[in-house]
Amino acid sequence: MGIREASEYLGVSRETLYKYVYEERIPAFKLGNRWKFKKTVLDRWMEKQSTQREEHVGRKFRAGVR
């Protein structure tokens, strides 16, 4: 999928998605002069982001409870 489809799928603006691409925060590849995204790779990336966030919040919460 292209930038427009990926931004709609992820629920972020195209500008934000371009920023993530250039900061290498999201998996993408160039085909010619256009950025492309594989849905299956984005799904795995989102799952990883979600898991990392949950672990971070859990550690932060546990640290505050002590």
Q: Is the pLDDT of residue 62 over 90?
A: no
Supply the pTM of this predicted model: 0.74
Higher pLDDT, 51 or 57: 51
Q: Is the pLDDT of residue 63 over 90?
A: no
Q: Where are the domains of the chain?
A: 3-65
pLDDT in tens, 14-52: 999 999 999 999 999 999 999 999 999 999 999 998 888
Q: What pLDDT score was predicted for residue 7?
A: 97
Query: At 25, which amino acid appears?
Result: R
DSSP percent split of the chain into helix, strand, coil, nearest 5: 65, 10, 25
Q: How far apart are CA 14 and CA 40, in angstroms?
A: 19
